[in-house]
Chain A
């Protein structure tokens, strides 16, 4: 992260068109790319949960943890993007195709996290959220290619485009690369910790349920003994 700050705010030069505001893109672009990755991991983990024989809750927890991190990254993308928009376009928000589809992606995954918090057993939670996780991922190409599909105010992809032509200066591209690496490490670290926390939450919930069952059985046995 220190390298990202050093390159993003220091070593990288100002852009010819965007001037100093280009520095915002070194955090804006990596956060949305990592959000895409996080939601793809959610979809893949959801598929692995649904379509493997064992139906391991580990896949479900990986899907949930990845979605949470993705939502945090999209929130950063939207907030930081609005600051960039204010400098570049003169407004914080515009109902443009890219911005609107990104906001829709954010709301969809907030909904996914809300569905995970509905009642029921762990397996019920895993099944319903896995289905949603696999459907919601189709929004990613919609967001990414929205600038091509509709007339958009947002600039087209500079690096991740289909023609493979990268329209960036070397040091600028390197600064962006540093951002992507930094956020990738952060994503992996957060995934490790969040999946463990979720596993502990599940264990404690199971233990609470087991304790309640034991208490209820003991109560029923006492009532039976009292009746005799």
Chain B
């Protein structure tokens, strides 16, 4: 069952990398959004 470790590891690696990227983007977005008035947020 050596294969299982590699296969599960590859899925974990994928979701961890993408999840980390998404989390960083959301966190920095929230931090920056607090400093900007809603009128300037053209997407709202």
- A: residues with CB less than 8 A from B are 1, 5, 8-9, 19-21, 23-24, 27-28, 31, 68-69, 72, 75-76, 79-80, 83-84, 86-87, 186, 189-190, 193-194, 196-197, 199-201, 203-204
- B: residues with CB less than 8 A from A are 3-4, 6-11, 13-15, 17-18, 21-22, 25-26, 28-29, 32-33, 35-36, 40-43
The interface residues of chain A, by DSSP majority, are classed as helix
| A200 in contact with B33 given A69-B21, A76-B18 (CB within 8 Å) | yes
User: How many angstroms between the C-alpha atoms of A194 and B11 in the bound complex?
Assistant: 24
Contacts of B33 on A, CB cut-off 8 Å? 200
| A21 in contact with B32 given A76-B14, A190-B21 (CB within 8 Å) | no
Smallest CB–CB gap between B10 and chain A, Å?
A: 4
User: How many angstroms between the C-alpha atoms of A68 and B21 in the bound complex?
Assistant: 9
User: How many angstroms between the C-alpha atoms of A79 and B22 in the bound complex?
Assistant: 19
Contacts of B26 on A, CB cut-off 8 Å? 193
Smallest CB–CB gap between A191 and chain B, Å?
A: 10
Q: Is the CB of A80 within 8 A of B3?
A: no
User: How many angstroms between the C-alpha atoms of A86 and B7 in the bound complex?
Assistant: 11
Smallest CB–CB gap between A208 and chain B, Å?
A: 10
Q: Is the CB of A204 within 8 A of B36?
A: yes
- Please list 9 pairs of residues, one from A and one from B, whose beta carbons are closer than 8 Å in the complex, sorted by A's number: A27-B14, A72-B17, A72-B21, A76-B18, A83-B9, A190-B21, A196-B41, A200-B41, A203-B40
Contacts of A19 on B, CB cut-off 8 Å? 3
